[in-house]
Amino acid sequence: MLPAFFQRHWSPYFVLLMAGLLSAIYFGLTSTVWAVTGEFTRLGGDLLLLFGVDASEWQYFKMVKLEGSTWSRADGWIVWGMFIGALVMVLLSNSFKIRLPQQKRRYAQGLLGGIIAGFGARLALGCNLAAFFTGVPQFSLHSWIFIVATGIGTFFGAKLTQVRWWKGRPSLSRGAAKPSVVKVRLIQPYIGAVLLISYLSLVAYFFINNHSRLGWGALFGMAFGILIERGQICFTAAFRDLFLVGRSLMAKAIIAGMALSSIVTFIVIVQYGLTPITQVAALSTLVGGILFGFGIVLASGCETGMMYRLMEGQVLFLPVFAGNIIGATLLAYAWDHLGVYNALVSSGAKVNLLTSYGPGAALIATLSMLGLLYWLTLYHERRYHQARLRSHQERTYVH
């Protein structure tokens, strides 16, 4: 069994500061960034090929470099490493349990939300990770458009999920735990330890055989997976909880992590002369961000939330995962076949604050905007609770 520190969940501040630091270090080691939906898109291309559809000539797949298999791509090992890291911690803490949603409609809602989120993320050329945790620290203007758009989409998604026809009729039935389930849970830490040792052996194999990019991807992927599971990190919850219940802890921790990552990434870029990774800022960024924010609320989880919850045994997130891949693949097809690129992307441009305003000004502007975002989060939380207090006082006075 693990020590008490590993048995309980970790502070979101600690987890997201560590994630921000590791994200910057990963960029310094590999010149690539922590992201997942790009690989989801490539997985869609791999599946199309498996069914006899050669998508390698689609312009979007050329852009994201559909080469090899997911097992031969560093981004592939980031994704699978996150799944493995989350699963290891779930098993070591003896908390894996198959959980079914109380309403069957949640499967369809999860699939729909995943499709919308996957489509939106790839339309905007990034997801919550590629915008929040890599776009902002890479000083790419598109990330700020995406953040605002995600907030808008999440707001309307949260409103929709409160509508009665969406929530449906609640089910109060609960199944009793079976003896076999209890027995399986007793051996979970041992399974987790074997999985951890086996995976670290694979990482060592990569480095020994000069596949360092795969090794770094697998190692950092596992570290990110451990962090998101222990911190229960979900960008959907950060926005949704702020809007619905005035809870801001996760949102504030995300902003703090972005700030640290921005500072460390800035040092890495300046010290080692690395080229920051910049994405196109265009109408597609705004539209994609809104769709992404809307979709993750309908699906009840963003990419990070989906990954660790699936490893905890929450079956709902299987269709969410499938939906993400389907949505990303649909966008890859629509990019040139349905004219999405010409309509929403072609007029945009890659804008990086470092080159536009200079290193010092870019860092100050980024930290200032993050500070403003932090203040707005506190302001909204305070207003929410003040409004609730006034409402309570008015009801008390009436009675």
The mean pLDDT value for 19-40 works out to 94
- Check if the beta carbon of residue 233 is closer than 8 Å to that of residue 302: no
Q: How confident is the model at residue 306 (pLDDT cuts 50, 70, 90)?
A: very high
Decide: residue 127, CB within 10 A, 0-12 exposed, 13-18 middle, 19+ buried.
buried
What is the DSSP code string of 194-258?
Answer: HHHHHHHHHHHHHHHTT-HHHHHHHHHHHHHHHHHHHHT--HHHHHHHHHHH---HHHHHHHHHH
| CB hemisphere CA count around 246 (13 angstroms) | 12
The per-residue pLDDT for 180 is: 42
- The total of structural domains in the chain comes to 1
Q: Does 396 fall in a domain?
A: no
Instruction: Tell me the percentage of the chain whose pLDDT exceeds 90.
Output: 75
The per-residue pLDDT for 352 is: 96
Residue 219 above 90 pLDDT? yes
Q: Does 172 fall in a domain?
A: no
**pLDDT one-digit tens code per residue, 122-152:** 999 988 888 888 899 999 999 999 999 999 9
Q: Which residue has the tokens 């086996």?
A: 198
The mean pLDDT value for 190-217 works out to 97
The per-residue pLDDT for 171 is: 62
Q: Which candidate, 315, 316, 310, places its Cα nearest to that of 90?
A: 310
Q: Does 173 fall in a domain?
A: no
Residue 42 above 90 pLDDT? yes
Q: Cβ atoms within 10 A of the Cβ of 129, count?
A: 26
The mean pLDDT value for 176-201 works out to 78
**pLDDT one-digit tens code per residue, 359-397:** 999 999 999 999 999 999 999 888 887 877 777 666 666
The per-residue pLDDT for 177 is: 42
Residue 179 above 60 pLDDT? no
Q: Does 397 fall in a domain?
A: no
Q: Does 315 fall in a domain?
A: yes
pTM over 0.85? The answer is yes
Residue span of the structural domain in which 125 resides? 4-167+181-388
Residue 175 above 50 pLDDT? no
Q: Does 239 fall in a domain?
A: yes
Q: Does 97 fall in a domain?
A: yes
Residue 308 above 60 pLDDT? yes
Q: Which candidate, 78, 146, 166, places its Cα nearest to that of 293?
A: 146
The per-residue pLDDT for 392 is: 63
Q: Which candidate, 154, 174, 299, places its Cα nearest to that of 238?
A: 154
**pLDDT one-digit tens code per residue, 75-113:** 999 999 999 999 999 999 999 999 999 899 999 999 999
Q: Which two tokens stand for residue 186?
A: 């007793």
**Gap between the terminal Cα atoms of the chain:** 54
Torsion of CA 213, 218, 220, 225, to 10 degrees: 160
E strand map for 49-128? none
**pLDDT one-digit tens code per residue, 238-285:** 888 888 788 889 999 999 999 999 999 999 999 999 999 999 999 999
d(CA 153, CA 236): 11
Q: Does 174 fall in a domain?
A: no
- Give percent helix, percent strand, percent coil of the chain, each to the nearest 5: 75, 0, 25
